[in-house]
């Protein structure tokens, strides 16, 4: 029964760096790469500006992405920030995470 989310059991590659090293650009690339290479099934035209839900982003993929971000940056993204607007593209998601990093 049940198929609210798909499980991708591959471990997400880590990229540890100090919190201050995470510029918006670097974070955007990191988020984009995790989504493209490890969490979503996307074609070659997937870009940092592509629609994520349309590309198959689901609740589990988001949680796994948040885990990878926490591993990398040490910050757990507040779930209340995971709005449709913030999860629209890799760019908007990275901007949201970056903003929280700035406040951490």
Question: What is each CA distance from 50 to 14, 36, 101, in whole angstroms?
Answer: 23, 11, 23
Does residue number 93 form part of the binding site for other proteins (CB under 8 A)? Answer: no
Residue carrying structure tokens 């995790």 = 34
Return the residues of window 19-48 that contact other proteins according to CB under 8 A. Answer: 39-41
Determine the interface stretch with other proteins among 17-25, 43-51, 53-61, 92-100 (rule: CB under 8 A).
Answer: 53-61
> Least distance from C-beta 25 to other proteins, angstroms?
26
16 within 8 A of 59, measured Cβ to Cβ: no
Positions that interact with other proteins (CB under 8 A): 1-10, 39-41, 56-60, 62-64, 67, 79, 82-84, 87
């Amino acid at each position: 029964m049940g198929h609210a989310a798909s499980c991708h059991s591959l471990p997400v590659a880590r990229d540890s760096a100090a919190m201050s090293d995470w510029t918006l650009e670097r974070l955007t690339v990191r988020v984009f790469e995790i989504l493209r290479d490890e969490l979503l099934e996307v074609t070659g035209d997937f870009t940092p500006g592509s629609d994520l839900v349309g590309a198959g982003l689901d609740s589990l993929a988001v949680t796994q992405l948040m885990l990878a971000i926490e591993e990398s940056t040490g910050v757990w993204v507040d779930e209340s920030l995971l709005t449709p607007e913030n999860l629209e593209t890799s760019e908007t998601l990275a901007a949201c995470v970056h903003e929280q990093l700035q406040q951490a």
